[in-house]
Structures are given as structure tokens and as C-alpha cells.
């Protein structure tokens, strides 16, 4: 069974440029998460989806970040415009169960470098 697939794995852009990350969760997983991970830190939640509905986006910086999950399957996270401080790894995860009783399956992450 395929795991969570993310692309691109690496992206280098100039500040003020836009960038988009794509995630395909495990088939049948209705819950999808985007986490941000800075070097030496744990993942921090940006947004959680239940099917196509964003049920927790309080940590998403909405002035420059946006996300969508059309048709409740794959998802895209966009940053426009990117800032130097956005350099980080963007992790996508999916789970069968919602909340703490569901194990998360993570993708390999998309490493963003903003110059």
C-alpha cells in the first residue's frame, strides 16, 4: 500500500515568490494534516481537514498561506508571497481516526528554502 506522497521534496525560491506543495494521503484516510517543522523542533500543526472541510486552521497564517482539499482526497498548501522565515519542512500526514487515538502517517516532507 502506498504511503503519504508529497511533492516536491525540495524547493528553493527567492523571497516574495509563490510556492505550492502537494500531498496525496493514504487511500481511505479522511483526516489530513499539514504540519510545519523547523530545524530542531517538533512538527507544528498548520491545518487539519476532515474530508474537504478545514476543521482546525487557527495556526495557519492566513495572510500568506492558503490550503485546499478539493474532493476530500489530495491537498495543496500554498504560500504567497514567501518570506525568509518560511524556510522549513512542510509535512503532510493522514489518519484513519480523528484526534489522539489515531496514528498519523507522515509523508517525507517538502523542504523549502527561501533566499
Partner 1 sequence: SQKIEQNSEALNIQEGKTATLTCNYTNYSPAYLQWYRQDPGRGPVFLLLIRENEKEKRKERLKVTFDTTLKQSLFHITASQPADSATYLCALDSYSGNTPLVFGKGTRLSVIA
CB of 98 to partner 1, least distance (A): 6
Cβ closest to partner 1, residue 41 vs residue 113 = 41
Give the residue among 59, 91, 96 at the shortest CA–CA distance from 75: 91
CB of 99 to partner 1, least distance (A): 4
- CB atoms closer than 10 angstroms to residue 110: 22
CB of 37 to partner 1, least distance (A): 9
Task: Please tell me the distance from the alpha carbon of residue 21 to that of residue 109, in angstroms, as a whole number.
Answer: 9
Task: Please tell me the distance from the alpha carbon of residue 87 to that of residue 42, in angstroms, as a whole number.
Answer: 15
CB of 53 to partner 1, least distance (A): 14
CA 102 to chain centre: 18
Cβ closest to partner 1, residue 52 vs residue 108 = 108
Task: Please tell me the distance from the alpha carbon of residue 71 to that of residue 69, in angstroms, as a whole number.
Answer: 6
Residues that bind partner 1 (CB under 8 A): 4, 33, 35, 40-45, 48, 56, 91, 93, 98-101, 103-109
Cβ closest to partner 1, residue 18 vs residue 55 = 55
Amino acid at each position: 500500500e502506498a504511503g503519504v506522497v508529497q511533492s516536491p521534496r525540495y524547493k528553493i525560491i527567492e523571497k516574495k515568490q509563490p510556492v505550492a506543495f502537494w500531498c496525496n494521503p493514504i487511500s481511505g484516510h479522511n483526516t489530513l494534516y499539514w504540519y510545519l517543522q523547523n530545524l530542531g523542533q517538533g512538527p507544528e500543526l498548520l491545518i487539519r481537514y476532515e474530508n474537504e472541510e478545514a476543521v482546525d486552521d487557527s495556526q495557519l497564517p492566513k495572510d500568506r498561506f492558503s490550503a485546499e482539499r478539493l474532493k476530500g482526497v489530495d491537498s495543496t498548501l500554498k504560500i504567497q508571497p514567501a518570506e525568509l522565515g518560511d524556510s522549513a519542512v512542510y509535512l503532510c500526514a493522514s489518519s484513519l481516526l480523528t484526534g489522539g487515538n489515531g496514528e498519523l502517517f507522515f509523508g517525507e516532507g517538502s523542504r523549502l528554502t527561501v533566499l
